[in-house]
């Protein structure tokens, strides 16, 4: 009888140790040793409270790369991002979760030494139609375009978090509930549905649809844009609606190959305002929507749904209408978020949305 009681006690102890609430409680008790500026001695708002560790799961990388394998986090630098986490609620509105500083390892560094081996390189060599699919232990998947990892003006904004601290309001002293698992953190997202817990797998992929590539096409012109969702045509753009506001973006237009092109401002409409009716904002789209924007010559780029529709930095994608019959017209894409001009598509002829399952 005593042995039965002993077995039951051991089993109960094991279960309680592995319970999420128990893990969370332990997390709360063990902050990372660091300088904590409790008296505002410095101008840094983000070091005033304890940093808590988030255990990082073993992470593997495969897909269209020549050297798949596990990630060695010990060789990677640690970056910090600040995030106001907000999720969609059941009524379609937003639910604020908390404001945090996350420390962790950027996707930029994690993928940096992986040698690309594009499945469609025979048709299209440029890397701008690549994206990565990230999966966690529960089978949840989110996607990021290669462009939003390696091309943005502000690098290292997508992390695998290894630590978290609250950003506490100075008057209310409100303490948001801390996460207790590692997670993907997309610091440029407005609604943070892509911040899924415990990522364990990264898969590098090229956009799966084939296009007719005609390098050096000149003159090049497309009179309309066909809009597709899951290979079904859902719209067509032949002109810009009068009710959309024109925007002007000042820029230094700089290519990865040819360097500076010009410094002339771009004038057009926000692409998200033009196609939101065809690609509505919901959890599936926010997490795993990948969009391909293609020109008449087959030149194209991948853009994640969140990257296009769900930014918190106002570095938007613009659609520019040229003069009728102008070479490179009638519509051109400009990505204000990018350091390089590589995702500026001329003679846009197709926009495709796919949801990664």
Contact 202/60 with Cβ under 8 angstroms?
Answer: yes
pLDDT in tens, 156-169: 999 999 999 999 98
pLDDT of residue 14: 43
How much is the average pLDDT of 245-252? 93
- How far, in Å, CA of 52 to CA of 29, rounded? 9
Q: Which two tokens stand for residue 132?
A: 């990565």
Higher pLDDT, 233 or 22: 233
What is the rounded distance in angstroms from the CA atom of residue 98 to the CA atom of residue 25?
Answer: 18
What per-residue confidence (pLDDT) applies to 283? 94
Q: In degrees rounded to 5, what are phi and psi of residue 245?
A: -75, 140
Instruction: Determine the average pLDDT of the residues in 337-353.
Output: 96
CA 97 vs. chain centroid, Å, equals 19
Contacts of 32-41 with CB under 8 Å at 24 or more apart are 32/163
pLDDT of 6 reads 44
Length reported for the chain: 357
Identify which has the larger pLDDT, 198 or 15.
198
Cα–Cα distance measured from residue 348 to residue 36, given in angstroms and rounded to the nearest whole number? 51
- Better pLDDT: 49 or 79: 79
Question: Would you state the pLDDT for residue 232?
Answer: 95
pLDDT at 255: 84
Return the pLDDT at 10. 42
d(CA 54, CA 36): 18
Strands (E), 5-78: 52-53, 60-63, 69-70
DSSP 8-state class, residue 338: B
Q: Which CATH number fits domain 225-355: 3.20.20.80, 3.90.420.10, 3.90.950.10, 3.40.630.30?
A: 3.90.420.10
Residue 330: asked if its preceding bond is cis (omega within 30°), the reply is: yes
CB 50 within 8 A of CB 38: no
Residues 28 and 164: beta-carbon distance below 8 Å: no
Query: In the chain, pLDDT over 90 holds for what percent of residues?
Result: 79
Of the two residues 129 and 44, the one the predictor is more confident about is 129
Q: 7 falls in which pLDDT band (50, 70, 90)?
A: very low
In this prediction, residue 170 has a pLDDT band, given cuts at 50, 70 and 90, of confident
| Of 267, 271, 3, 317, nearest in space to 147 by CA | 317
- Band the pLDDT of 31: cuts 50, 70, 90: low
pLDDT band at 39 (very low <50, low <70, confident <90, very high): low
Domain boundaries of the chain, sorted by first residue? 29-206, 225-355
Is a pLDDT exceeding 90 seen at residue 274? yes
């Amino acid at each position: 009888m005593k042995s039965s009681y002993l077995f039951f006690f051991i089993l109960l102890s094991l279960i309680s140790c592995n319970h999420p609430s128990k893990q969370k409680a332990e997390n709360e008790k063990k902050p990372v040793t660091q300088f904590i500026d409790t008296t505002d001695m410095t101008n840094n708002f983000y070091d005033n409270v304890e940093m808590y560790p988030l255990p990082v799961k073993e992470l593997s990388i495969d897909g269209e790369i020549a050297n798949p394998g596990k990630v060695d986090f010990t060789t990677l630098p640690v970056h910090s991002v600040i995030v106001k986490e907000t999720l969609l609620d059941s009524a379609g509105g937003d639910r604020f979760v908390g404001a945090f500083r996350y420390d962790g390892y950027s996707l930029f560094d994690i993928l940096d030494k992986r040698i690309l081996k594009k499945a469609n390189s025979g048709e299209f060599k440029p890397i701008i139609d690549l994206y990565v699919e990230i999966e966690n232990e529960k089978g949840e998947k989110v996607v990021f375009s290669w462009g939003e990892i390696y091309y943005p003006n502000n690098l290292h904004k997508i992390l695998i978090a290894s630590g978290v601290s609250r950003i506490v309001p100075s008057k209310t002293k409100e303490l948001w509930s801390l996460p207790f698992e590692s997670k993907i953190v997309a610091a440029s997202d407005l609604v943070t549905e892509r911040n899924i817990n415990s990522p364990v797998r990264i898969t590098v992929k090229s956009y799966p649809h084939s296009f007719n590539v005609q390098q050096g096409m000149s003159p090049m012109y497309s009179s309309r844009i066909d809009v597709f969702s899951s290979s079904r045509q859902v719209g067509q753009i032949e002109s810009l609606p009068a009710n959309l506001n024109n925007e002007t973006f000042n820029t230094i237009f700089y290519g990865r190959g040819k360097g500076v092109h010009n410094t002339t401002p771009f004038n057009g409409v926000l692409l998200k305002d033009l196609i939101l009716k065809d690609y509505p904002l919901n959890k599936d789209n926010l997490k795993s929507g990948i969009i391909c924007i293609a020109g008449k010559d087959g030149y194209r780029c991948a853009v994640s749904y969140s990257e296009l529709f769900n930014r918190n930095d106002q570095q938007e994608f613009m659609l520019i209408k040229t003069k009728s019959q102008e070479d490179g017209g009638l519509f051109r894409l400009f990505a204000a978020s990018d350091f390089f001009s590589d995702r500026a598509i001329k003679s846009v002829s197709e926009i495709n949305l796919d949801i990664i399952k």
